[in-house]
Amino acid sequence: MRTDGIAAALAHVERLDGLARADSLAGRLDPRAKLATTLAFLVTVASYGRYQVTALLPLALFPVAILTLGDVPLAPILIRVALVSPLAILVGIFNPILDPSPIGSLGPFVITAGWASFASILVRFALSVSAALLLVATTGLDAVCAALSRFRVPRVLVVQLLFLYRYLFVLFGEVSRTLRAYALRSPSHPVPRVREAGALLGQVLLRTLSRAQRVHAAMLCRGFDGELRLRRPLRARSADVAFVVTWFAFFALSRAFDLPRLLGNAVAGAVR
């Protein structure tokens, strides 16, 4: 049944926190160092030209390094990247049709601008998503949020992010229970039709609202005044500084020079 499929998908998307060993090298780094480096990584990835593919590849060193330093299992990260990949495919899928001008060749194959930009989108997507996932896996979203608030990100946003993460699965649970209840009483149409979907969605929204009110009431009862006080003593050590400096230098280097091409030329020169 479809709702079971949703439940199974949910089980896959389970929490990222705790994937990395807390006592791993990456786990011990200051959350601010990891957050700043990951942000710099994302900006670097986004800054490449739309047809650049190979020049991006050295950047994969960053997620690979975090994966290794954090003892993070590879499979859960890959599954999550795959789960959200349809989005990236959707964004770029028409590029090969819309932009068929040739820009190079790979042996007998002509590479068109469309295919290059499509590949570039996929590579950037894989790099960005895996880096973001690894940040949460090695740091925990609460520590990421503590770091965000130290970076003076507005408190409302930080609190919303924390709550989204905490209640995402409670809400998914409500959606999947609603769909199951529907499917059990509608054996011939287990998937809601459009006109019923509106009512179901309305139900879920109302339940979400009343849960939000209960959560808020529970918070008020414990003295909540709009400020979420996280107890996360953040201490930057020299290792954190070294981490940030090294990676920033590496990102700048990869952005300034096309490392794979330089390497290729060097190897070709040596062979000659």
Residues that bind another protein (CB under 8 A): 15, 17-18, 140-142, 162-163, 166-167, 169-170, 211, 214-215, 217-225, 229-231
From the list 174, 147, 167, the residue with the least C-alpha distance to 218 is 167
Q: How far apart are CA 173 and CA 68, in angstroms?
A: 33
Spatial CA neighbour of 81 closest among 12, 26, 3, 138: 12
Q: How far is the CB of 233 from another protein (least distance, A)?
A: 9
Q: Which is nearer to another protein, 2 or 232 (CB)?
A: 232
- The least CB distance from residue 33 to another protein, in Å, is 20
Shortest Å, Cβ 224 to another protein: 6
What is the end-to-end Cα distance of the chain in Å, rounded?
A: 62
Instruction: Identify which of residues 231 and 272 has a Cβ nearer to another protein in the complex.
Output: 231
User: Other CB atoms closer than 10 Å to residue 67's CB: what's the count?
Assistant: 20
Closest CB to another protein among residues 200, 230: 230
Report the nearest approach of another protein to the CB of residue 25 (Å).
Answer: 20
- The neighbour count for residue 72, using CB atoms within 10 Å, is 23
Number of H helices and number of E strands within the chain? 12, 2
Q: For residue 140, what are its two tokens?
A: 């925990």
Judged by beta carbon, residue 42 or residue 215, the one nearer another protein is 215
Minimum Å distance from CB 59 to another protein?
30
| Cβ atoms 13, 6 nearer than 8 A | no
User: What torsion, rounded to 10 degrees, do the Cα atoms 17, 23, 27, 28 define?
Assistant: 140
Residue closer to another protein (CB basis): 76 or 260? 76
Of 194 and 227, CB closest to another protein = 227
Q: Is residue 72 within 8 Å of residue 138, measured between CB atoms?
A: yes
Question: Minimum Å distance from CB 191 to another protein?
Answer: 28
| Residue whose CB is less far from another protein, 63 or 70 | 70
SS3 track for 174-236: HHHHHHHHHHHCCCCCCCCCHHHHHHHHHHHHHHHHHHHHHHHHHHHHCCCCCCCCCCCCCCC
Q: How far is the CB of 117 from another protein (least distance, A)?
A: 39
